Structure 1
Amino acid sequence: MPQLNPNPWFFIMLMSWLTFSLIIQPKLLSFTPTNHPSNKTHSTIKTTPWTWPWT
């Protein structure tokens, strides 16, 4: 069964992960995001307690 022989496939997997980790990933991470988080101030909402009919 040739698929049990890891000799060619392990090298291909290792090279693809090294390519991704060392070349492609830093290029993708260098892009700036388009949606920057906004600096909105969080306002506190005044809530009224619930009046329970049995109390």
Structure 2
Amino acid sequence: MPQLNPNPWFFIMLITWLTFSCLIQPKLLTFVSTNPPSSKAPTTLSTTPWTWPWT
């Protein structure tokens, strides 16, 4: 059963992850986020309970 032979596929997976970790990921992390988190305190809205007409 050739699909159980890990020799070529393990090497391909290892090279792919190393490429992603060393080359692609640092380039992606240098981009500026389009929606940066703000340092403002979250505002809480005051809500009133709904008055149901049948109660």
Unpaired stretches in structure 1, ≥5 consecutive residues: 47-55
> Which amino acid letter does the alignment assign opposite residue 9 of structure 1?
W
Equivalent residue for 1:16?
Answer: 16
Q: Superposition RMSD on alpha carbons, in Å?
A: 2.1
The number of aligned residues is 46
Distance 1:4 1:44 in 2: 57
% identical equivalent positions: 70
**Residues 4 and 33 from structure 1, CA distance in 2 versus in 1: closer, same or farther, beyond 3 angstroms?**
same
Q: Which runs of 5+ in 2 are unaligned?
A: 47-55
Q: What are the equivalent positions in structure 2 for 1:7-46 lying under 5 Å apart?
A: 7-42=7-42
Quick one: distance in 1 between partners of 2:14 and 2:22?
A: 12
What TM-score, normalized to structure 1?
Answer: 0.66
2:11 and 2:45 map into 1 onto residues whose CA distance is: 59
Shift of 1:35: 1.4
Q: Which has the larger radius of gyration?
A: 1
TM-score, normalised relative to structure 2: 0.66
